[in-house]
Structure 1
Amino acid sequence: MNYIRLITTSVAIFIVALLWNGLIHAVVLQDANAALVNVARPAAERNMGLALLLTAGLAFLFVWSYAYTAQHGTLREGIAHGLFFAVLAGFLVNLNQYILYPLPASLVMKWFVSGLVEFCIYGILASWLYPIKRITAHSDERY
């Protein structure tokens, strides 16, 4: 495992995550997210430090799992890894919130689709910034 690439790629994905989520939630879905005003914590009471830590942790976990699961480091593998994460997050977060809270299905679907695009972007970045190279044909060690 190349720790410099791991950290560099995680930081890049963290930055993209902040930009992407700002664009999606504050601009594109701003009106649709208004449906949450009665169930969400008021903005002044949200823990921004914890939200940033969660985003950084997710970026790190994404890159770490990519580094361990990608066989060749291709763009296709990166996108497939992104799709896997997107579907997992969609079930764990979006569907769960739809079940628990009175949210419009259309909003949850918009979150899911934006998540699919977001995680595919992460996969593209991971395949580009963390290339997988094997030392020998029989070795599982990567650098």
Structure 2
Amino acid sequence: MNEHTKVFNYKIASKKKRFYAFMLELFFSLIVLFALNYLFYQEDLDTFLDADTNLYSILLNAVAAFGIGAACYPLFSGNIGHRILNIKVIDAKTGNDFNNFFEGGIREFVKNFLSNFILPVIWLFFDKKHQNAYDKVTNTYVVERK
């Protein structure tokens, strides 16, 4: 391993594993958002999937991501996708698990919001330590669990 594949004695998660974790989290988030829309607005699945994207829906999704992150990070040091794929988020300054509910919520909020602009996806391809834009903003790394 070279210096770009390890941080704080952890192996940095691969771009491929991070992508799969992102997709799993997206699927889980869509289920939660559909359930909330069904509960509050009685929207069926077709209406939910055909909804237009606007600033309101982007912010609503980001707020839901905050809630999901706040619930998951204290348990998993990451989101559902991270847990399933045996990776976690650590603080880039200390190397400690990133498991605070508020910070986890903020990380997922920023990730969800920035993902609408494709920036995090492109950034990951050029970063030597596999950090997305939201990793830079929240000062985190995604690593393999030991």
Give me the TM-score of the superposition, normalised by structure 2.
0.32
Q: Which has the larger radius of gyration?
A: 1
Give me the TM-score of the superposition, normalised by structure 1.
0.32
Kindly indicate which of the two structures has a greater share of residues assigned to strand. Answer: 2
Kindly indicate which of the two structures has a greater share of residues assigned to helix. Answer: 1
- Higher-RCO chain (CA-CA 8 Å, sequence separation at least 6): 1
